[in-house]
Amino acid sequence: MQNDFANAFAYADQVIRSNKFLLDASYANRFSIGLSKEIIFGFKFVDNNLYPGGELRNRYRSDVGFNAQSRFNVTSLFYAAATTAGDVRGTAWYSTTLAPGYNVLTKYNKNNFDVPLMGYTEIKLIRAEAAAETGGANLATAITDINDILTRAYGGTSKNLPVNALAATVINAARRERELELVGEGNRIQEIKRIGARTGVNIDRRGGRWNCPGLALQFPISEQAANASFLMNQEGGCD
């Protein structure tokens, strides 16, 4: 989040080289009970004791009581980008039939699951982007990381980057795959702000500014009620 690519690479590299984690072979495993090999930090489901992810199910599952205002559905533009020919994620994570007229996410359509807060896929993508940003010998590592993600997504190497891919190409691929891999997991807004803070570029497809006031969490009104001089955060401005 600091765009500190040297340290981001170093720490992500330590995690990957620990050989304690693997990419899940199946996309169904990320939100499962005990099947994921990717979870670095998360909440485990424990029967009769701990049932994490309740609000993810209540808010975002699309196979029970779908409501367009409260359920996770994506635009047709994003759906087209996320379901390109041969991409296994298209059939694993989306449906156009559960709620006719909507492109809904199916990641959370389960009664119970472990909730990953930090996973190996994200670490691979962090290392890939950071490696491409730092360049030199790290670029080859970045290409390998992206190709590992792409090989799983397409069930083969047909979409892999060439071994001589430019750093800019790898960076764009890392950002694209982050959006596709972590869809519905609360990551996108952080990317909009991170990239905007570094480059001033607004990557939100709806044209929203990366630093619009409405993105800041508002203080409780009780703070101002207790102290009339307390300044609340500015609101709105996210056209």
| 40 domain-assigned | yes
Give residue 124's pLDDT.
Answer: 98
Q: Are residues 130 and 47 in the same domain?
A: yes
| 218 domain-assigned | yes
Note whether 96 and 45 are within 8 A (CB): no
| 206 domain-assigned | no
Average pLDDT, the chain: 93
| 24 domain-assigned | yes
Q: What does the alpha-carbon distance between residue 105 and residue 78 come to, in Å, rounded to a whole number? A: 12
Locus of tokens 């701990």: 50
| 94 domain-assigned | yes
Q: Domain of residue 215: give its range.
A: 211-239
Q: Are residues 166 and 226 in the same domain?
A: no
The fraction of the chain above a pLDDT of 90, given in percent, is 81
DSSP 8-state code for residue 132:
H
Q: What does the alpha-carbon distance between residue 111 and residue 32 come to, in Å, rounded to a whole number? A: 10
| 205 domain-assigned | no
pLDDT, tens only, 131-174: 999 999 999 999 999 999 999 999 999 999 999 999 999 999 99
Q: What does the alpha-carbon distance between residue 97 and residue 32 come to, in Å, rounded to a whole number? A: 23
Q: Are residues 161 and 222 in the same domain?
A: no
Q: What does the alpha-carbon distance between residue 204 and residue 189 come to, in Å, rounded to a whole number? A: 9
Where helices occur in the chain by DSSP H, the ranges are 5-17, 54-60, 76-82, 88-93, 120-134, 138-154, 167-181, 188-199, 221-226
Q: What does the alpha-carbon distance between residue 78 and residue 46 come to, in Å, rounded to a whole number? A: 35
Q: Are residues 219 and 103 in the same domain?
A: no
Q: Are residues 216 and 132 in the same domain?
A: no
Q: How many domains are there within the chain? A: 2
Q: Are residues 183 and 73 in the same domain?
A: yes
Strand partners, 105: 94
Q: What does the alpha-carbon distance between residue 15 and residue 233 come to, in Å, rounded to a whole number? A: 37
CATH of the domain at 58: 1.25.40.390
Q: Are residues 116 and 146 in the same domain?
A: yes
pLDDT for 212 beyond 70: yes
Q: Are residues 30 and 123 in the same domain?
A: yes
Q: Are residues 29 and 54 in the same domain?
A: yes
Average pLDDT score over residue span 27-55: 94
User: What is the 3-class SS of 88-105, one letter each residue?
Assistant: HHHHHHEECCCCCCCEEE
Residue 200, helix vs strand vs coil: coil
Give residue 82's pLDDT.
Answer: 95
| 204 domain-assigned | no
Q: Are residues 136 and 190 in the same domain?
A: yes
- 238 or 202, which is more confident? 202
Average pLDDT score over residue span 25-30: 95
Closest CA to 105 of 188, 180, 205: 180
Give residue 23's pLDDT.
Answer: 97
pLDDT, tens only, 43-79: 999 999 999 999 888 888 898 876 766 678 899 999 9
Closest CA to 123 of 145, 92, 141, 155: 145
Q: Are residues 130 and 235 in the same domain?
A: no
Q: Are residues 117 and 12 in the same domain?
A: yes
| 51 domain-assigned | yes
Q: What are phi and psi of 91, to 5 degrees?
A: -85, -25
Give residue 239's pLDDT.
Answer: 65
Question: How crowded is residue 131: how many other Cβ atoms within 10 Å of its Cβ?
Answer: 29
